[in-house]
Amino acid sequence: MYCISDQQIDFIVQDISKHGICTESLKQNLVDHICIIIEENLEENGDFRLFYEATIKTFYTEELREIEEQTSYLLHVQGPHWLLGRNQFFLLLFILFIGPFIAYDIAWMFNSRQYSGFSLPAEIWESTTVFALFPFLVLFVLFLTPDSLDPLIPKRSRILIGIKPFIKIIPPDKTPRLV
Amino acid sequence: MIYSTELIKGTLKTIILKLLVDNKRMYGYEITQKVKELTLDKIKITEGALYPTLHALEADGLVTTKTEYIGKRVRKYYSLSQAGKVKSKEKISELSNFIGTMISLLEIKPKSA
């Protein structure tokens, strides 16, 4: 059975910190886990570095920080929440910001149908169009900004809406996996 | 045969809570080994799934932790809180019902002795 030294523990701590593990208790968990695997499987005169590097690779799919991100996601999402796709999120924003203006026009048509039928006078639709134009343009720009320009909501990202946090944009490479 | 993560997805919390019901207190590595042992290596819980879930269970108040120093490193032992004991019964019952439903849905006949 291999006996791991204090210097080697320090090395593991530094290495996993360097690779994105910053939550202290998660770091403690992983260090202990790695140490046990090394102690149980490495021969007494085995190569610690080589064995460590091979072991740590089995902990993740692409990068070690996936574990930190997954932990952070599970810790920060409390209560019921929705995880929306980008298009669904923009549709929701469109309904929230443009919907009231469209609803006003429709309501106006219904209320005045006995006087003017189902037509909408220019002064009504023109004013609602003016008010709806700015939010529409903002949404349009946000939606069409290419990923190369570091947009607020990148393509393939997911948007989490809940109680705490109220809203969070999860970039595509950080979309949580549950197992 | 190792089961796919798609099948295991959603059952991890229940598995951990059940192990803690049976074993009182466990640490992370011990949980992974116990699952391998009980399932004859058919289910392998990855570190990337285990520790985030343990942290979430702790944040939800379902498990409590106690740390012990093993030389320079720290070992965290997890055990069920009172709320965790209640929740584990609910989760086990829910999963058991689900398995029963799947058996009838897929028309799986129990193996005769």
- Cβ count near B47 (within 10 Å): 22
State how far the Cα of A81 lies from the Cα of A74, in Å rounded to an integer: 12
pLDDT at position A173 is 58
Alpha carbon of B111 to those of A126, A148, B99, B103, B108: distances in Å?
73, 58, 15, 12, 9
**What is the band of A175 on the pLDDT scale with cuts at 50, 70, 90?**
low
At residue A179 the predicted structure's pLDDT band, cuts being 50, 70 and 90, is very low
> What letters, b where the CB count within 10 A reaches 16 and e where it falls short, cover A144-179?
eeeeeeebebbeebbbbebeeeeebebeeeeebeeb
Is A179 within 8 Å of chain B by CB?
Answer: yes
CB contact under 8 A, A25 and B8: no
Please, are residues B78 and B65 in contact by the beta-carbon 8 Å criterion? yes
Can you give the C-alpha Rg of chain A in angstroms? 27
pTM here is 0.70
ipTM of the complex: 0.88
One DSSP character per residue, chain A reads -----HHHHHHHHHHHHHTT---HHHHHHHHHHHHHHHHHHS-TTS-HHHHHHHHHHTT-SS-THHHHHHHHHHHH-EEEEEEEEHHHHHHHHHHHHTHHHHHHHHHHHHHTHHHHTT---HHHHHHHHHHHHHHHHHHHHHHH--GGG--SS-TT-EEEEEEESSEEEE-GGG-----
| Distance between CA atoms of residues A39 and A19, nearest Å | 22
Contact (CB<8Å) A67/B47: yes
Please give the pLDDT value at position A178: 43
- Paired sense of beta strands A158-164 and A167-170, if any: antiparallel
pLDDT at A150 over 90: no
Per-residue pLDDT at A78: 67
Quick: pLDDT tens for A10-43: 999 999 999 999 889 999 999 999 999 999 999 9
- Residue B60 Cα, gap to closest chain A Cα (Å): 9
Query: What pLDDT is attached to residue B3?
Result: 76
| Alpha-carbon distance values, A44 to A12, A40, B73 (Å) | 18, 10, 20
Q: What is the mean pLDDT of chain A?
A: 86
Dihedral angle computed from the Cα positions of residues B98, B104, B108 and B113, in that order, rounded to the nearest 10 degrees = 90
B5 chain-A contacts, CB cut-off 8 A: 179
Per-residue pLDDT at A113 = 77
B9 neighbourhood in chain A, CB within 8 Å: 178-179
- More confidently predicted of A169 and B77: B77
Please indicate whether residue A113 or residue B42 has the higher confidence score (pLDDT).
Answer: B42
Predicted local distance difference test score (pLDDT) of residue A158 = 81
Per the CB < 8 A criterion, the answer to whether B27 and B76 are in contact is yes
Q: What is the mean pLDDT of residues A101-126?
A: 83
CB atoms within 10 A of CB B112: 4
pLDDT of residue B64: 96
Percent share of chain B, pLDDT over 90 = 70
Which of A65-74, B43-52, B97-106 bottoms out in mean pLDDT, i.e. has the lowest? A65-74
Chain A interface, best mutation among B11, B26, B29, by max A CB count within 10 A: B29
Which 82-111 residues of chain B touch chain A by CB within 8 A? none
A3 contact B CB<8A = no
Q: What is the mean pLDDT of residues A71-100?
A: 85
CA A14 to each of CA A28, A29, A57, A62: distance values in angstroms, whole numbers, following the listed order: 12, 14, 16, 19
For the residues A88-105, what does the mean pLDDT come to?
91
Q: Does B10 touch chain A (CB under 8 A)?
A: yes
Q: What is the pLDDT of residue A149?
A: 82
pLDDT greater than 50 at residue B15? yes
What value does the mean pLDDT take over residues A117-138? 86
Lowest-pLDDT choice from A137-146, B34-43, B73-82, B102-111: B102-111
Range with lowest mean pLDDT among A128-137, A148-157, B98-107: A148-157
Indicate whether A47 pLDDT > 90: yes
